[in-house]
Amino acid sequence: MDGDWDGGWWRGATRVSSPNFSARPAGARVDTVVLHSISLPPGEYGGDGIRQLFTNTLDWSAHPYYETIRGLEVSAHFVVRRDGAILQFVSIDERAWHAGRSRWDGRAEANDWSIGVELEGLEGDAFEPAQYAALEKLLPAIDHVRGIRHVVGHEHVAPGRKRDPGPGFDWCELAARLHWDAGRIPPAKPQQS
C-alpha cells in the first residue's frame, strides 16, 4: 500500500484494535464509504464510551442507556471525534461490523464492500468544522488506495431502518471540501437504491 498506510491501517489515525471484524468475501470490490453518527451515552461527547463499545469493554451498568445495547458487538473502521481526532478500529482490508442489513448501488450487505466511518454526533445535530476538516484528509487517503466511487450515509444504505448521520450532516460542505464529482456524494435525502 501507499506510504500513508501500513497493512490497511492509516498512519493519520490513532490505532485502537477492535475484535469485532471478519474477513471480507473473496474478490470484494471495496469502493464505498458509509458515514454514521454515534455518541455514548447519546448526546454526550468526549467520553470513552465509543472506544469501549467497539473494543467490547463497555461497562453495561455505567449508564441506563447501555442496558439497551447490552451484548452488542459492533465496530467501524474509523471514528472521527468532535475535535477532529481520528481513531481507527479495523484495517480497511477487513470487514468491520457497521452497516447491518443494507443495500446500495444494486449491492446488498454493505459491510462486505464498504468502509465505515463514525462521526461523533447525533442524528439531526450539527457536526463540527474539525470533523469536516478530518474527513477532508481521511477520505482522499482512502480514495488513493481504494478508488472510492461513493460516500453515502447509513441512512442511504439502510433507508427506513437508519437515519444517521442525519439532517445535521452537511453533504454540500463535504462535497465542496473534497472537490469530487457530484455523483460520488449522495443527495441530502436518502433514496432507495
Q: Which residues are catalytic?
A: 118
The C-alpha cell 453518527 sits at 37
Strand partners, 115: 33
| d(C-alpha 9, C-alpha 5), whole Å | 5
How many beta carbons lie within 10 A of that of residue 178, not counting itself?
A: 18
Q: Taking a C-beta distance cutoff of 8 angstroms, is the pair 35, 152 a contact?
A: yes
Distance of alpha carbon 137 from alpha carbon 134, whole angstroms: 5
What CA–CA distances, in Å, run from 163 to 122, 156, 167? 10, 8, 9
